[in-house]
Structure 1
Amino acid sequence: MQTFDYKLNMGASVETTQTVLKNQYNDGYVQRVSVGINNRREAWSGTKTGDFDTVIKPIMDFIDAHKGAKPFYWVNPFGVKNKYICEGYSISQRKGNFWQISLKLEQVF
């Protein structure tokens, strides 16, 4: 399995979700139960800016090669190595040949 070796710009953010089953009763009571042994997931959003050919294009090529379905390793800003996927990205031009790519890396098991 390949490793995504690119560092995101400062300001990356993480959204953590827990997989839970809920059963709502008529009296307003809600019963909740944790689902599975890996019910906690992270999704990191971040950007990387730089020269198109040397910074942005290699990231695009890496993500495209994994086709949004094949997982890869990535060391998140907390320093923890996990498996992630990236289903897509957006690119915007900043100035001249200076570009920014925005990614969402979702943890998988």
Structure 2
Amino acid sequence: MTIRTFIWQMDMGASLDTQYRISRTQFGGGYAQLSTTGINNKTKNWSGTKTGDFATVIAPILDFLDDHAGATPFYWTDPHGKTRQYTCAGASTPQRKGNFWRIMLNFEQFMSV
């Protein structure tokens, strides 16, 4: 199966959340040992919005997300120009004015084996 590409760019103000997976072993006297977990212990997750006309901008994004159902990864190029695989488990879509809507997205970096 071919991995599709999320072609829409988020509006200005997207937010990057970098997380490191670690193991922590706590010893007596306040000492601790930390180590990284796995070979890909760093993930970069993005959140942001896209605004526009419902029929031409928002509905195609919702259709794309429905096709992936939160579990199938897709390619997306972040604001830094890096293309990686992501999943999106849901979206919030408030109406702005008339037929002008905003979709709020959270992309979680996907690591495949």
- TM-score bucket (shorter structure): over 0.9
SS where residue 27 of structure 1 aligns?
helix
Q: 1:26, CA displacement in angstroms?
A: 2.0
1:49-88 to 2 correspondence within 5 Å? 49-88=51-90
Aligned residues: 109
Q: Distance in 1 between matches of 2:62 and 2:32?
A: 44
Alignment counterpart, residue 47 of structure 2, candidates 37, 42, 45 = 45
Question: Counterparts in 2 of 1:1-109, with a 5 A limit?
Answer: 1-109=3-111
TM-score (structure 2 length as normaliser)? 0.95
TM (norm. structure 1) is 0.98
3-state SS of paired residue (2:94): strand
Letter of the aligned partner of 1:5 in structure 2?
A: I
Residue segments in structure 1 that go unaligned for 5+ positions in a row: none
Structure with a larger share of its residues in strand: 1
Task: Report the alpha carbon displacement of residue 25 of structure 1 after superposing the two structures with TM.
Answer: 1.1
Identity of aligned residues (%): 51
**CA distance in 2 between partners of 1:29 and 1:89 (Å):** 42
Aligned alpha-carbon RMSD (Å): 0.5
3-state SS, counterpart of residue 105 of structure 1 = strand
